[in-house]
Amino acid sequence: MKPEGRPGAYLLRDPGHLLALGFGAGLMPRAPGTFGTLAALPLYWVLASTLALPAYLGVVAVLAGLGVFLCGRTARVLGAQDPGAVVWDEIVGLLLALAGVPPDWPWVLAGLVLFRGLDILKPWPVSWVERRFHGGLGIMADDLVAGALVLALTGLGRGLFQ
């Protein structure tokens, strides 16, 4: 039986659900995906300031693999295909989007805005991936594609503006 209170709040006692819900950011009543994306920023700054790019990407790959399991598990408990409260995909997607971006506000803000835009609007190929994959993989995949697109765009931008 689910305890009374905010939907899903009882899940925060489980470490796996806590991660899938972005440490509670996904339980925000409005724009949980945006709050989940913002929750990624402290982790980004720690990783970007301490790891070389190959190690950073390795951590992102591990977090993405873990996310397939975590997001699928929490989605099943919540009884939805891709519940808005599950924001681990936004966290990992933003980490991928910001890979190799200098940890300076203009670049981070550009990456964040581009990522949220692609995640919300779901242009091709993000929409294609979202329709083709389901479960934990489906939850993660569209955000990873959006993150990869932002990574390419910011890489292009860095080439033009630096």
Per-domain boundaries in the chain: 9-161
How is residue 154 written in tokens? Answer: 């910011």
Span 127-154, pLDDT tens digits? 999 999 999 999 999 999 999 999 999 9
> DSSP 3-state assignment of 50?
helix
Span 11-49, pLDDT tens digits? 999 999 999 999 999 999 999 999 999 999 999 999 999
What lies within 8 Å, CB to CB, of 27 at 6+ separation is: 6, 7, 8, 9, 12, 21, 85
